[in-house]
Structure 1
């Protein structure tokens, strides 16, 4: 390989290293374990584009920038849609699954998520949990991580909330499934909010109730 080709290869490698880092920063700060399927696909495709452009010295220097920019736009667009549409977010990224609820293992949820007992025991060990009998709740997150709440970490729980936190309002929209799980309706929710001096649902960014019947309400753009 001639010296000119070596220098060109070094220049391309440095250039696309900077470009890939910038694109990943624009995509947002998320840990590897928190990446959605879409994020992983985009990351892989961008990396492949960079490698192909670096490897082929006959290819135009900036050839890989166009598909990289397109992938960045796709990722940002789907992230925006996911923020606005819970249904899209659930379909694209999945939703948490209750693997252990009130100390009882849900084998159906494990099979549905292709999550076996070896996986369960491994994540319990990684969490420092000595035995399944010590677990009150184990929730399989869309990222594949298992969130574990051991017995004694919480007060006696409400039977109607199948999980730790039940989101009632997301981005100004009432969550009908959550109300159904509670056995309540929109009129009850509005009454509860009015008692806490919240008059407009549209101004609420996030509203939830937890297993101890405690409310959390966040107002949009509140500082």
Structure 2
């Protein structure tokens, strides 16, 4: 009976602890978990399972690894905010699967994404033909974002946290010279002054660093 009460107590305690840790980690849907988030979540589950399997082991031996994992996740998130290279390695970025009605064969091979999956996701979004697609992006979450030729252009960051996203400029038919001219016209001498910049149907959208709502 005593062992049963210990298991119940540990279960409740670890449940509350993991809920608190996950709340601190931040809100994300399951499909949006990065590799780091997923690995840490799995490891926390394993640590909790070991603590429940062995009621005689000190509970501290389960709490400490969970707290260490939390510190790792917070550190990785902080580095991810500051470094796009780190973010690209850990979380990945969108890959252009269809461009102007043409399937990017090399990209789908590199992403290990087959034609059947592509067509299924196109059907789910009521896209009648690949030829109607201006751009289709395979997001880091695994979802397919489709923009048909008669729809608004996709939201692509041209500047993110002061860093120009050079790979996105050709996708909207622009170049570095155009972007710098637009920044100068808006009163910015350097992209480092800009937190976020994109081009939508209403024109350039530029948000300066440090600006709040």
Unaligned runs of 5+ in 2: none
Separation in 1, partners of 2:108, 2:166: 25
Name the counterpart of 2:183.
193
Separation in 2, partners of 1:117, 1:178: 24
Name the counterpart of 1:66.
64
Q: C-alpha offsets along residues 88-143 of structure 1, whole Å, 9 cap, x if unaligned?
A: 11122112111111111111111100000111122223323344344332100011
Name the counterpart of 2:158.
168
Separation in 1, partners of 2:96, 2:116: 17
Does residue 204 (structure 1) correspond to residue 194 (structure 2)? The answer is yes
Separation in 1, partners of 2:74, 2:27: 13
Unaligned runs of 5+ in 1: 158-163
Separation in 2, partners of 1:136, 1:189: 22
Name the counterpart of 2:123.
125
Separation in 2, partners of 1:183, 1:213: 19
1:110–1:25 distance in 2 versus 1, CA, 3 Å: same
SS of equivalent residue, structure 1 residue 64: helix
Does residue 47 (structure 1) correspond to residue 50 (structure 2)? The answer is no
Q: 2:176 aligns with which of 165, 177, 184?
A: 184
RMSD: 2.2
- The offset of 1:146, in angstroms, is 0.7
Q: 2:114 aligns with which of 110, 113, 116?
A: 116
Q: 1:217 aligns with which of 187, 206, 212?
A: 206
SS of equivalent residue, structure 2 residue 140: coil
Q: C-alpha offsets along residues 178-211 of structure 1, whole Å, 9 cap, x if unaligned?
A: 56773324xx54432231233554332111235x
- Mapped contact 2:100–2:131 kept (Cα < 8 A): no
Separation in 2, partners of 1:174, 1:134: 30
**Correspondence 1:98-117 to 2 at 5 A:** 98-117=96-115
Name the counterpart of 1:161.
none
Q: C-alpha offsets along residues 131-176 of structure 1, whole Å, 9 cap, x if unaligned?
A: 434433210001111111223223xx7xxxxxx3443322123344
1:65–1:100 distance in 2 versus 1, CA, 3 Å: same
